[in-house]
Structure 1
Amino acid sequence: MAAAETVTRSRLAVWGDPIAHSKSPDLHAAAYRVLGLGWEYGRRQVSADDFAPVFAQLDDTWRGLSLTMPLKEQAFRAAATRDRHAELTGAVNTLLMGKHPAGFNTDVGGIVDALAEAQVTDVDRVRILGAGATAASALVAASEIGATRADVRARRPAPAAALAELGEKLGMVVDVRSFDAPSETVELTLATLPSGTMLPAETATALAAQGGVLFDAAYAPWPSALAARWADGSTISGLGMLLHQAVRQIRIFLHGDPTAELPDEAAVIAAMRAAI
């Protein structure tokens, strides 16, 4: 990035629909204070239909965007280049602005980091609940911590079929089943259902009985309805994913690289954690 761009590109925001609930402005503001950056990070409600015209209006003062639902596919199409995680999942949740916008998916790394923080670093069999963009990120994350088999539970067959195809690319065996199909024991369950989803009690109980550790991307309210039924209480809130994917976003906005650590990163993470 040229020096002139470094000076002028100081605007960032999270876009989505809905967006009022987003904790991203608090996370980013806390990090920028520790880093001594004079960047501003806001939020804007943008629908899928409005994304293209609104994005086209951005000028050279913009450094980057965080994208949440339902804009990850639109952001994927807007990116001139994409990292491996974005290419695998077809989803971009981070755009680094410039002449050729660069797209990244930091959700995958955010899940891996959240699991590592809970000392879940090596699994073989996993179960994924849901089949949307977050489910694709969860499948890639599971592969990166060693999973070779995934039991995908979904209501709609088409998105689930796409996950099965992704599993093949990752060298995984993916079985697609209904939510109430008989369960086999897995070491880790990754729930990617929308916040507030209520599975039938008997279904949730059966999944919990042989579900291993539960990572639930939902975090408000907590415990989620599913976590409240989890057999042994081994649950991980989606707040960890939210935090760590944001850390990787800030690395991108500062360095252009999601793996390049921030200055005094431990202090940055502590400030971000305190903000939520």
Structure 2
Amino acid sequence: MLIDSPSHGAPQRCAVLGDPIAHSLSPVLHRAGYAELGLDWTYEAVQVPSGGLSAFLEHDSGWRGLSLTMPLKREVLELGDELTDRARAAGAANTVVLDGGRLLLDNTDLPGAVAAVRERFSGPVDEVSVIGSGATAASIGLALCELGARTVRVLSRDEGRAAATIEVIASHASAPAVTWRDLSAVTSEVVLPGDAVVSTIPAEAQGVALVEACRSTSLVFEALYDPWPTPLAAAALARGQALVSGLDLLVHQAALQFELFTGQVAPVAVMRSAGETALAARAQA
């Protein structure tokens, strides 16, 4: 994907879009990066509901870059002019670069998840369970296949709604074996086998039975960062399991977005520190 980099001093507008969006730490991370590099750029959080992305883009096209979160990552595919291979493979895009009137789509969740896992865990991930069936679950599932997963179990409450995610993960070049399991059938007597478990579901959906079922894996990947810790994350910390947090994922994928938007190397440490400070402030509020 070839993108013209904006001139260093030219002010540019960027934003994260989704619904809900008030909780997003993306503005904190990106703004910290702009400040560190002396860029006169802005980054907002804008609520855009499902079905509203096309109208949003038609109403206001004066953006340089857009980060997308739930529920827009799949919706945007119909609007883009160019997709990277990884956005096409994931069946979702979390990044839009507006370049000369064209919408260029990418998925930084996938490489961001790979980097986040290897930052925290060096062991094998041959067999994994992915809880949830949205676009983020598909991207992290693909990322684990990149890291060696050959058996992937997708757990959700609706097999039909999980079909797209299962199809995406199964399409990986390694031809992993991907199956579905009813999340509502998980009890505290169940033990999810394998090396890693990924959760992309809300904290309030992480009941005692599910937390207990995740007790034997070496790695827990909790895609949320607020509230923190989630029940799964708290249990992983108590058990001594390796833990990848939603902030880890957010930082790595945001750094890649930052570079696509600005054409400059992201100050990752500064962005991470800003995110940690903001989360600590929320916890004390």
Match of 1:214 among 212, 216, 220: 220
TM-score by length of 1: 0.88
Q: Is the 8 A contact 1:9 1:63 kept in 2?
A: no
Q: Is the 8 A contact 1:75 1:92 kept in 2?
A: yes
Counterpart position of 1:78: 79
Read off the aligned partner of 1:275 and give its amino acid letter.
A
Identity of aligned residues (%): 36
Cα distance in 1 for residues equivalent to 2:74 and 2:17: 13
Match of 2:181 among 158, 177, 187: 177
Read off the aligned partner of 1:87 and give its amino acid letter.
R
Match of 1:233 among 240, 246, 253: 240
Read off the aligned partner of 1:177 and give its amino acid letter.
R
Residue 271 in structure 1 maps to residue 270 in structure 2: yes
Counterpart position of 2:120: 118
Instruction: Give CA deviations for 1:130-186 in whole Å, capped at 9, x if unaligned.
Output: 111111011110111111111111111113222332233111001211123554521
Cα distance in 1 for residues equivalent to 2:171 and 2:226: 33
Match of 1:39 among 38, 41, 47: 41
Q: Is the 8 A contact 2:9 2:39 kept in 1?
A: no
Match of 1:133 among 113, 132, 135: 135
Cα distance in 2 for residues equivalent to 1:208 and 1:198: 11
- In the superposition, relative to structure 1, how do residues 75 and 227 fare at CA in structure 2: closer, same or farther (>3 Å)? same
TM-score by length of 2: 0.85
Instruction: Give CA deviations for 1:191-239 in whole Å, capped at 9, x if unaligned.
Output: 111243233x23321x223333101001222221122334723122111
Read off the aligned partner of 1:270 and give its amino acid letter.
A
Q: Is the 8 A contact 2:154 2:179 kept in 1?
A: yes
Q: What 5-or-longer segments of structure 1 have no aligned partner?
A: 256-261
Using the TM superposition, give the Cα deviation of residue 109 of structure 1 relative to its aligned residue in structure 2, in angstroms: 1.3
Using the TM superposition, give the Cα deviation of residue 6 of structure 1 relative to its aligned residue in structure 2, in angstroms: 7.6
- In the superposition, relative to structure 1, how do residues 111 and 4 fare at CA in structure 2: closer, same or farther (>3 Å)? closer
Q: Which aligned runs of 4 or more in structure 1 are off by greater than 6 angstroms?
A: 3-7
Counterpart position of 1:203: 210
Q: Over aligned residue pairs, what C-alpha RMSD do you find? A: 2.2
Q: Secondary structure at the match of 1:146?
A: coil
Q: Is the 8 A contact 1:16 1:70 kept in 2?
A: yes
Counterpart position of 1:105: 107
Using the TM superposition, give the Cα deviation of residue 29 of structure 1 relative to its aligned residue in structure 2, in angstroms: 0.7
Cα distance in 2 for residues equivalent to 1:77 and 1:37: 32
Read off the aligned partner of 1:93 and give its amino acid letter.
N
Q: What 5-or-longer segments of structure 2 have no aligned partner?
A: 276-285
